[in-house]
Amino acid sequence: MERLGFEYAPPEKTATSMDLRHAGVFGILDMKIAAQYGYGRKVATSPQGEGASLRSEAERVALSGADDLALEDLPMSQEEAEKQGGSEQKMNGRRVPVGGCTRESFLKLYAPTPDSVDLLYVFDLQRNAESGALNDSRIKNVNKLWSACMKKQDLIASDPLKAASQLGFDEETASSPRAIATAKKDVKCKQEVNLAGVYFDVQSAYQYRMIDTNTKTLDLVKRQLKERLKLAESIAP
């Protein structure tokens, strides 16, 4: 942005601990959390930049590129972007990158060359593993055991990952006294049937299967991640 003649500072982010971001992978599991928050604990999110709506049209174009850009118009690597030389728009005597500074910074960090592995590749493998695991008979069986445990306490739910909504709680009632009492029973049932243990073992098996069939690409991902972290460290203020 400075190269194009603008002073720019990204919006500050709200810090979120690793525990908060991943504690709900198998639904609520911690009795202390259930007793304090019920189903209502929320992950901290990044605030919207107040200055975003005050940007001039020129600054917005420099940041994000032209409005009419389609996906096929965007360079898919920084090497490709440099060959293109930028868009037809110029600011401060320099051509604006196709997709703006946002696209350029993304490509420099995540896709410097055409062989850069897609940023979502590993996440896609993870989602595929989770999807396969959820259809596994072992997961279905432990879900039934958990559901039967809940039913003994007059709580009707079939999916421990959607327990709050299936039990009728929304954002307004997720930390109500009834929700807290229900969440504690939920956690107790999960502990009784070893739900987290079964989920972990089954998902791990599917993940290792994904690893075994994608070894070469994952090795490339690891190498590129190291290079990316090294680059990020070199430009950090």
**Tens of pLDDT, residue by residue, the chain (237 residues):** 999 999 988 777 655 444 444 556 788 999 999 999 999 875 444 454 455 557 889 999 999 999 888 888 899 999 999 999 999 999 999 999 999 999 999 999 999 999 999 989 999 999 999 999 999 999 999 999 999 999 999 999 999 999 999 999 998 999 999 999 999 999 999 999 999 999 999 999 999 999 999 999 999 999 999 999 999 889 866
Contact 138, 202 (CB under 8 A): yes
My answer on whether 16 and 112 are in the same domain is no
Q: Of 90, 116, 142, which closes a domain?
A: 116
- Number of folded domains in the chain? 2
Q: Of 99, 116, 133, which closes a domain?
A: 116
My answer on whether 63 and 174 are in the same domain is no
| Domain around 155 | 1-54+117-237
My answer on whether 161 and 236 are in the same domain is yes
Residue 134 has a CB neighbour count (10 Å cut-off) of 16
Alpha carbon distance 26, 160 (integer Å):
8
For residue 10, the model assigns a pLDDT of: 76
Q: Of 72, 97, 116, which closes a domain?
A: 116
Count of helix runs (H) and strand runs (E) in the chain: 11, 2
Tokens matching residue 165: 């909504």
Alpha carbon distance 80, 215 (integer Å):
27
My answer on whether 153 and 107 are in the same domain is no
My answer on whether 105 and 121 are in the same domain is no
My answer on whether 5 and 122 are in the same domain is yes
- Give me the sign of the Cα torsion angle 153, 159, 163, 169: negative
CA atoms within 13 A on the CB side of 112: 8
| Model pTM score | 0.74
My answer on whether 49 and 67 are in the same domain is no
My answer on whether 69 and 85 are in the same domain is yes
My answer on whether 90 and 207 are in the same domain is no
My answer on whether 70 and 155 are in the same domain is no
My answer on whether 160 and 93 are in the same domain is no
My answer on whether 108 and 180 are in the same domain is no
